[in-house]
Amino acid sequence: MSINKLIDSLSTQGWYVWDGFLIPPNIKAIKDCIPETLQDARIGHRNLLQGNKAIRGDQTVWLEPEMGAPICDYMEKMEQIRQEINRQLYLGLRGFETHFCRYSQGGFYKRHVDNPRGVGRRKVTTVLYMNESWQPSDGGELVVYDQTGNQLFTLEPIAGRMVFFMSEEFPHEVLPTKLIRESIAGWFLTETVS
């Protein structure tokens, strides 16, 4: 069962790739709930948020249950995973926040870590890919590094694939995409979402 593989992999290597996390009809249903208007993504934390197109070139919208049943179903699935991670790994995860991301042609996100400086509330990062007809020439791959800058793996953004990794341990980047690239990024948190 994939949840057991996820737990084992997070506890031993700190990351896990779960192919087929969602099937195409579920992905389409979620996409149908996404509003047409997205906001330019920003970097930083709370009062220090700022736009910086030299670092990050995607647009986002935070997911809320009011957006529709497919979003609620996704969030419920993530809640079940949060509870199982807590049950087996004792990470003290208390919440989950998530947003939809769209990278236009040429979009990228330079190497970064998912916790802004001095803020350690994000413990496990999740990224669900939603690109049904992705081809190797389309770009937009996720590249994950270790703490010393060695490349660990490159992941193609194939629809239904979900990657989980420990937020503070793995710097990562999104390579420039040649087509629109869509995903849902999320974080299991050590505090509740306000």
3-state secondary structure of 78: helix
Q: Give the pLDDT confidence score for residue 44 in this predicted structure.
A: 46
What pLDDT, in 10s, does the model give residues 113-159?
Answer: 887 666 678 999 999 999 999 998 999 999 999 999 999 999 999 99
Q: Say how many C-beta atoms besides its own lie within 10 A of residue 17's C-beta.
A: 17
| Exposed / middle / buried, residue 26 (Cβ in 10 Å: 0-12, 13-18, 19+) | middle
pLDDT digits (tens, 9 = 90+) for 2-57: 899 999 999 999 999 999 999 999 999 999 999 988 887 644 444 444 444 556 66
Q: Does residue 73 or residue 50 have the better pLDDT?
A: 73
In terms of Cα–Cα distance, which of 112, 80, 108 is closest to 96? 80
Res 162 pLDDT > 60: yes
pTM score, two decimals?
0.90
List of domains in the chain: 3-42+55-189 (2.60.120.620)
Average pLDDT over residues 90-95: 94
Per-residue burial over 143-175, b if 16 or more Cβ lie within 10 Å, else e, is ebbeeeeeebeebebebbbbbbbbbbbbbbbbb
Residue with tokens 């937020």: 167
